[in-house]
Amino acid sequence: MAVQVGDPQHETPEGRLDLETLELQLLLEGVYRQYGYDFREYAVASLRRRVWRRVHAEGVETIAGLLERLLHDPSVMERLLLDLSINVTSMFRDPTFYGAFRAKVVPLLRTYPFTRIWVAGCSTGEEVYSLAIMLTEEGLYGRSRIYATDINEAVLARAREGVFPLDRMQEYTDNYIRAGGKRSFSEYYTAKYGGALFDQSLTKNVVFSQHNLVTDGSFSEFNVILCRNVLIYFDKTLQSKVHGLFYDSLAMFGVLVLGSKETLRFMSHEECYQQIAPPEKIFRKVK
């Protein structure tokens, strides 16, 4: 975990970690050793808030009390995982990014016979469906394969179903138009199962699978890696480590996409990329 002895913000006058920080460290260590999920290098402020939310929801008094519960009851771990993995997402999120992708990346992809894309931290899949729609409209979907991964199996199950809340369709339609969508957005879904069921042809070239960016290895030879709004929850050391993973997984001249608040500055391999559509966080691996 990022907080260590020597960090004055979390020290007692005697130079020990304050009790809350110690309990948080023990919790993260317990989660890792018992369940294999490694949150020890996630950014502390947001972790602390979410852990306390789970402490209250489980009706215990302290973080140590939560640790005791979850070591003996995997269902508590499942609930904590949902809290810690922060699954907020939306279709055509940050529409200007999709516009820039169409303008700058699609022409590159047209020069390839086949495109391998990794969407890391895909959550419930809205981003994957958005990408599939865009590639379909650009005539590239048939020769693309999208690997969509997340740490959390529960969100992946929802992604595979492709049913999204009907009451968000107006917002998504607006995003789609701003993203340069070429058809009518409603062509892509039908009202079913109490939601909007997206056309299953959009996932025909998608493989959803569990992958942990912190503990699992690299893949190889992707032409595009999208990892948006995930690294923001990691501390700098962990971000740098994951950038190593992306660098190793990206083909030469491949494209790396980050979220709007994320950066490559001061990261390992920063000098190996060129930003190709500023201010959008779209980078090309050049060495």
Ligand X SMILES: C[S@@+](CC[C@H](N)C(=O)[O-])C[C@H]1O[C@@H](n2cnc3c(N)ncnc32)[C@H](O)[C@@H]1O
**Least distance from C-beta 124 to ligand X, angstroms?**
7
**Least distance from C-beta 121 to ligand X, angstroms?**
3
**Least distance from C-beta 156 to ligand X, angstroms?**
9
* Nearer CB in complex with ligand X: 50/102: 50
Q: At what angle are helices 19-35 and 74-85 packed, to 10 degrees?
A: 110
**Least distance from C-beta 241 to ligand X, angstroms?**
11
* Nearer CB in complex with ligand X: 115/152: 152
Going by their DSSP bridges, the two strands 250-258 and 282-285 should be labelled as antiparallel
* Nearer CB in complex with ligand X: 25/239: 239
- Tell me the C-alpha distance between 36 and 212, whole Å: 10
* Nearer CB in complex with ligand X: 2/86: 86
* Nearer CB in complex with ligand X: 115/123: 123
Q: Quote the strand ranges of 94-187, DSSP E.
A: 115-120, 144-150, 163-164
* Other beta carbons less than 10 A from residue 71's beta carbon: 16
From the list 267, 266, 265, 260, the residue with the least C-alpha distance to 281 is 260
Point out which residues bind ligand X (CB under 6 A): 85-89, 93, 121-123, 127, 150-152, 155, 212-214, 228-230, 259
From the list 162, 161, 151, the residue with the least C-alpha distance to 121 is 151
Residue 52's DSSP bridge partners are none
**Least distance from C-beta 215 to ligand X, angstroms?**
8
Q: Length of the chain, please?
A: 287
